[in-house]
């Protein structure tokens, strides 16, 4: 998928082992995510992203004009999201590992979630909308969006680490 | 431009919701297989401990890239909706960078993004509800602020 030179370059830049868990499950997962987007796109012409669901679902209970624009797609977006939950649940059941629970602190999830909710909707997309569909569309806007959130997230995560915030 | 322009009558197609569900299933399995449903793994990428996430995002983007490039040229329009095949193109404005930056802070702090958060619920991670509630709160806050005409420097009344 990535040319070998790129990997070699990465390995030079990164002091530690860049892929301590290997790459197979990452590549397979990426292909499956792409396949899911492809199935919906070929059948419906829709490039589905994950973050619009937040606003379209809010239209069920809110009269705000901003959410109204997503009213037409709100039903299928619920189905899409339920599908994502069910797919992950099916995989987890198949592995027989039982449930997995994060150790990241609740306040980080809540505060981070609020910022993710604001940022993805203001910025017109998230990791799937810009990162997968937009980059796949060779969209300049999406490249800029991805670079924006990727760089800021990397800096933020390093600051969090430097501050010794665990879990 | 605004949304997908899917009209209600399109959703009457008996296979529409079934197909969307199947797409969601594959999407969710992919996020679970790649461990992106685990915020710790996403954070390990952002903190440069494991670069696997690049394979997930760009692996998926390569697949969609081939399809989004090929479908408009080879096929006419989507069978279930009649929509023409198009690329996903959004207008570039300041919001893309500002919103991306805000998203980035949240992502770097928590290790969650929307799709991965839904998948995380699927693997039994009940603690992710903090993040999902947070995302709805955030989406509501920006919706409230953008639904109300304002003269503040960041306020915008133009549609995106």
Angle (CA) A80 A83 A86, round 5°: 160
CB atoms within 10 A of CB A74: 17
**pLDDT tier at A11 (50, 70, 90 boundaries)?**
low
Q: What is the rounded distance in angstroms from the CA atom of residue B60 to the CA atom of residue A37?
A: 9
Give me the pLDDT at residue B151, please.
Answer: 47
Structural contact between residues A52 and A134, judged by C-beta atoms closer than 8 angstroms: no
Whether the predicted pLDDT of A68 surpasses 80? yes
User: What pLDDT score does B56 carry?
Assistant: 98
**Does the pLDDT of residue B154 top 70, yes or no?**
no
Inter-chain contact B50–A62, Cβ cutoff 8 Å? Answer: no
Q: Which residues of B touch A50 (CB under 8 A)?
A: 113-115, 118
Contact B92, A65 (CB under 8 A): no
Question: Dihedral of the CA atoms B31, B92, B48, A81 (nearest 10)?
Answer: -20
Q: pLDDT-based confidence at B76, cuts 50/70/90? A: confident
Q: CA nearest A35: which of B143, B64, B86?
A: B64
Structure tokens at B40: 């710790």
Contact A126 B103 (CB under 8 A): yes
When pLDDT is cut at 50, 70 and 90, the band that residue A10 belongs to is low
SS (H, E, C) chain A: CCCHHHHHHHHHHCCCCCCCCCCHHHHHHHHHHHHHHHHHHHHHCCCCCCCHHHHHHHCCCCCCHHHHCCHHHHHHHHHHHHHHHHHHHHHHHHHCCCCCCCCCCHHHHHHHHHHHHHHHHHCCCCCCHHHHHHHHCCCHHHHHHHHHHHHHHHHHHHHHHHCCCCC
In this predicted structure, the answer to whether residue B150 has a pLDDT above a threshold of 60 is no
The pLDDT score that the predictor gives to residue A4 is 65
What confidence score (pLDDT) does residue B153 get? 47
Q: What angle do CA B44, B50, B51 make, to 5 degrees?
A: 115
Average pLDDT, chain A: 93
**Distance of alpha carbon A158 from alpha carbon A135, whole angstroms:** 25
Q: Which residues of B touch A81 (CB under 8 A)?
A: 24, 118
Q: How confident is the model at residue A7 (pLDDT cuts 50, 70, 90)?
A: low
A167 pLDDT tier (thresholds 50, 70, 90): confident
B134 pLDDT more than 50: yes
Contact between chains at A16 and B48 (C-beta distance less than 8 A): yes
Q: Please give, rounded to a whole number of angstroms, the shortest distance from the CA of A11 to a CA of chain B.
A: 10
> Measured between alpha carbons, how far is residue A27 from residues A30, A32, A34, A50 in Å?
5, 9, 11, 20
The mean pLDDT of B96-111, rounded to a whole number, is: 98
- Confidence (pTM): 0.90
> Does residue A15 register a pLDDT over 70?
no
Q: What is the pLDDT of residues A83-133, one digit of tens each?
A: 999 999 999 999 999 999 999 999 999 999 999 999 999 999 999 999 999
Tell which residue, B27, B102, B111, B57, has the closest CA to residue A143.
B57
What is the SS3 assignment for A117-129?
HHHHHHCCCCCCH
- The secondary structure element, H or E, covering residue B86 is none
* Model pLDDT, residue B48: 97
Identify the closest residue of chain A to B13 by CA–CA distance.
A44
Would the pLDDT of A55 be above 80?
Answer: yes
């Amino acid at each position: 998928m990535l040319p070998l030179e790129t990997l070699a370059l990465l390995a030079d830049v990164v002091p530690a082992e860049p892929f301590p868990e290997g790459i197979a499950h990452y590549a397979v997962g990426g292909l499956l995510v792409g396949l899911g987007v492809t199935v919906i796109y070929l059948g419906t012409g829709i490039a589905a992203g994950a973050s619009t669901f937040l606003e379209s679902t809010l239209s069920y209970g809110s009269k705000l004009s901003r959410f109204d624009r997503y009213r037409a797609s709100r039903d299928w977006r619920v189905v899409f999201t339920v599908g994502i939950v069910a797919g992950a649940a099916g995989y987890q059941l198949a592995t027989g590992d039982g449930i997995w629970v994060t150790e990241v602190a609740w306040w980080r999830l809540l505060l981070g979630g609020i910022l993710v909710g604001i940022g993805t909707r203001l910025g017109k997309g998230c990791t799937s909308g810009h990162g997968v569909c937009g980059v796949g569309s060779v969209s300049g806007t999406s490249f800029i969006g991805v670079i924006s959130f990727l760089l800021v997230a990397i800096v933020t995560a390093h600051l969090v680490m430097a501050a010794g915030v665990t879990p | 431009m605004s949304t997908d322009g899917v009209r209600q009558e399109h959703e009457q197609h008996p296979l529409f919701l079934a197909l969307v569900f199947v797409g969601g299933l594959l999407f969710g399995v992919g996020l679970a297989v790649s461990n992106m449903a685990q915020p710790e793994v996403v954070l390990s990428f952002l903190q440069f401990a494991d670069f696997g996430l690049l394979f997930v995002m760009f692996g998926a983007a390569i697949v969609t890239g081939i399809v989004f490039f090929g479908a408009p040229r080879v096929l006419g329009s989507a069978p279930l909706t009649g929509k023409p095949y198009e690329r996903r193109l959004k207008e570039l404005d300041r919001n893309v960078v500002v919103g991306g930056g805000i998203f980035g802070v949240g992502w770097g702090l928590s290790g969650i993004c929307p799709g991965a958060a839904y998948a995380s619920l699927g693997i039994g991670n009940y603690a992710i509800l903090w993040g999902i509630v947070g995302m709805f709160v955030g989406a509501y806050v920006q919706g409230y602020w953008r639904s109300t005409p304002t003269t503040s420097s960041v306020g915008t009344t133009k549609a995106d």
